[in-house]
Amino acid sequence: MTLKGARERRVRAGGVDLCVVELGDPGQPTVVLVHGYPDSKEVWSEVASRLADRFHVVLYDVRGHGRSSAPLPLRGGFTLEKLTDDFLAVANAVSPGRPVHLVGHDWGSVQGWEFVTVRRTQGRIASFTSMSGPSLDHFGHWIGQRVKRPTPRRVGQLLGQGAKSWYVYLLHTPRLPELAWRGPLGRRWPRLLERLEKVPRGDYPTASLPDDAAHGAWLYRDNVRARLSRPRADAYAHAPVQLVTPEDDAYLSQRLYDELESWAPQLTRRVLPAGHWVPRTRPDRVSAWIEEFVTAVEGGRPEQRPTGRYSDRFGGQLVLVTGAGSGIGRATAFAFAEAGARVVAVDRDTESAVRTAELARLVGAPEAWSETADVSDEQAMEKLAEKVHTELGVVDVLVNNAGIGLSGGFFDTTSDDWRKVLDVNLWGVIHGCRLFGRQMSERGQGGHIVNIASAAAYQPSRALPAYSTSKAAVLMLSACLRAELAGQDIGVTAICPGLVNTNITTTARFTGVDAEEEARRQQRTARLYGRRNYPPEKVADAILRAVARDEAVVPVTPEARGAHLLSRFSPMVLRALARIKPPV
Ligand code: NAD
Buried b (16+ CB within 10 A) or exposed e, 405-418: bbbbeeeebeeebb
Beta carbon of 352 within 6 Å of any ligand 1 atom? yes
Examine the pLDDT at 38 and tell me if it is beyond 70.
yes
Mean of the pLDDT values across residues 9-25?
96
Q: Which CATH architecture has domain 7-298?
A: 3-Layer(aba) Sandwich (3.40)
% of the chain with per-residue pLDDT over 90: 84
Beta carbon of 468 within 6 Å of any ligand 1 atom? no
Mean of the pLDDT values across residues 107-112?
98
490 — pLDDT class (breaks 50, 70, 90):
very high
Nearest CA to ligand 1 atom 24: 327
Helix (H, G, I), strand (E, B) or coil at 19: strand
The whole-angstrom distance between residue 125's C-alpha and the CA centroid of its chain comes to 27
Q: pLDDT digit string (tens) for 72-91?
A: 999 999 999 999 999 999 99
> What is the per-residue pLDDT for 312?
84
> What is the per-residue pLDDT for 81?
97
Q: Which atom of ligand 1 is nearest to the CA of 506?
A: 2
> Which one-letter DSSP state was computed for residue 127?
E
Examine the pLDDT at 304 and tell me if it is beyond 60.
no
Among the residue ranges 177-181, 432-436, 469-473, the one predicted with the least confidence is: 177-181
Beta carbon of 493 within 6 Å of any ligand 1 atom? no
Alpha helices in 45-151 (DSSP H): 45-51, 80-94, 107-117, 136-148
Beta carbon of 504 within 6 Å of any ligand 1 atom? yes
Portions of the chain given CATH number 3.40.50.1820: 7-298
Beta carbon of 555 within 6 Å of any ligand 1 atom? no
Examine the pLDDT at 381 and tell me if it is beyond 60.
yes
Asked if 564 contacts 555 with a C-beta cutoff of 8 angstroms, the reply is: yes
Mean of the pLDDT values across residues 171-195?
92
Q: What length is written for the chain? A: 584
2 — pLDDT class (breaks 50, 70, 90):
low
Question: Of 286, 308, 273, 276, which Cα lies nearest the Cα of 242?
Answer: 286
Asked if 537 contacts 302 with a C-beta cutoff of 8 angstroms, the reply is: no
Nearest CA to ligand 1 atom 32: 403
> What is the per-residue pLDDT for 560?
97
437 alpha carbon to ligand 1 midpoint, in Å?
Answer: 21
The torsion angle over the Cα atoms of residues 103, 109, 113 and 116, rounded to 10 degrees, is -20
Buried b (16+ CB within 10 A) or exposed e, 78-110: bbbebbbbbbbbbbebbbeeebbbbbbbbbbbb
23 — pLDDT class (breaks 50, 70, 90):
very high
Mean of the pLDDT values across residues 257-273?
90
218 — pLDDT class (breaks 50, 70, 90):
very high
Mean of the pLDDT values across residues 373-398?
97
Question: Distance between CA atoms of 343 and 204, rounded to whole angstroms?
Answer: 32
427 alpha carbon to ligand 1 midpoint, in Å?
Answer: 14
Question: Distance between CA atoms of 553 and 472, rounded to whole angstroms?
Answer: 12
pTM metric for this prediction: 0.81
Ligand 1 pocket test, candidate residues 321, 328, 354, most atoms within 8 A of CB: 328
Beta carbon of 374 within 6 Å of any ligand 1 atom? yes
Neighbouring residues of 121: CB distance < 8 A, sequence distance ≥ 6 = 84, 87, 88, 115, 238
Examine the pLDDT at 240 and tell me if it is beyond 80.
yes
Q: pLDDT digit string (tens) for 421-451?
A: 999 999 999 999 999 999 999 998 899 999 9
Nearest CA to ligand 1 atom 17: 374
CB atoms within 10 A of CB 213: 23
Question: Distance between CA atoms of 110 and 136, rounded to whole angstroms?
Answer: 7
> What is the per-residue pLDDT for 166?
82
Residues marked active site are found at: 467
Residue type, 152: P
Q: Which atom of ligand 1 is nearest to the CA of 324?
A: 9
Nearest CA to ligand 1 atom 34: 403
Separation in Å, CA 278 to CA 141, 257, 260, 284, 461: 26, 18, 21, 10, 48
Beta carbon of 323 within 6 Å of any ligand 1 atom? yes
Examine the pLDDT at 165 and tell me if it is beyond 90.
no
> What is the per-residue pLDDT for 1?
52
Question: Distance between CA atoms of 222 and 540, rounded to whole angstroms?
Answer: 49
Question: Distance between CA atoms of 341 and 311, rounded to whole angstroms?
Answer: 8
Examine the pLDDT at 308 and tell me if it is beyond 80.
no
Separation in Å, CA 127 to CA 101, 109, 131, 303: 5, 13, 13, 12
258 — pLDDT class (breaks 50, 70, 90):
confident
Helix (H, G, I), strand (E, B) or coil at 294: helix
The whole-angstrom distance between residue 371's C-alpha and the CA centroid of its chain comes to 23
Buried b (16+ CB within 10 A) or exposed e, 142-153: bbeebeeeeeee
CB atoms within 10 A of CB 62: 28
Mean of the pLDDT values across residues 480-494?
96
Q: Three-class SS string for 431-499?
A: HHHHHHHHHHHHHCCCEEEEEECCHHHCCCCCCCHHHHHHHHHHHHHHHHHHHHHHHHCEEEEEEECCC
Q: Which atom of ligand 1 is nearest to the CA of 377?
A: 18
431 alpha carbon to ligand 1 midpoint, in Å?
Answer: 16
Question: Distance between CA atoms of 442 and 39, rounded to whole angstroms?
Answer: 24
Nearest CA to ligand 1 atom 44: 454
> What is the per-residue pLDDT for 506?
86
Beta carbon of 452 within 6 Å of any ligand 1 atom? yes
203 — pLDDT class (breaks 50, 70, 90):
confident
> What is the per-residue pLDDT for 187?
93
- Mean model confidence pLDDT for the chain: 94
Beta carbon of 454 within 6 Å of any ligand 1 atom? yes
Beta carbon of 450 within 6 Å of any ligand 1 atom? no
% of the chain with per-residue pLDDT over 70: 98
How many Å is the maximal CA-CA distance in the chain?
91
502 alpha carbon to ligand 1 midpoint, in Å?
Answer: 8
Asked if 29 contacts 292 with a C-beta cutoff of 8 angstroms, the reply is: no
Asked if 416 contacts 466 with a C-beta cutoff of 8 angstroms, the reply is: no
Examine the pLDDT at 303 and tell me if it is beyond 60.
no
476 alpha carbon to ligand 1 midpoint, in Å?
Answer: 19
Question: Distance between CA atoms of 278 and 290, rounded to whole angstroms?
Answer: 13
Portions of the chain given CATH number 3.40.50.720: 315-404+413-496+534-578
Q: Which CATH architecture has domain 315-404+413-496+534-578?
A: 3-Layer(aba) Sandwich (3.40)
Buried b (16+ CB within 10 A) or exposed e, 562-573: ebbebbeeeeee
> What is the per-residue pLDDT for 449?
98
300 — pLDDT class (breaks 50, 70, 90):
confident
> What is the per-residue pLDDT for 451?
98
Q: Which atom of ligand 1 is nearest to the CA of 424?
A: 18
298: exposed, middle or buried (C-beta count within 10 Å: 0-12, 13-18, 19+)? Answer: middle
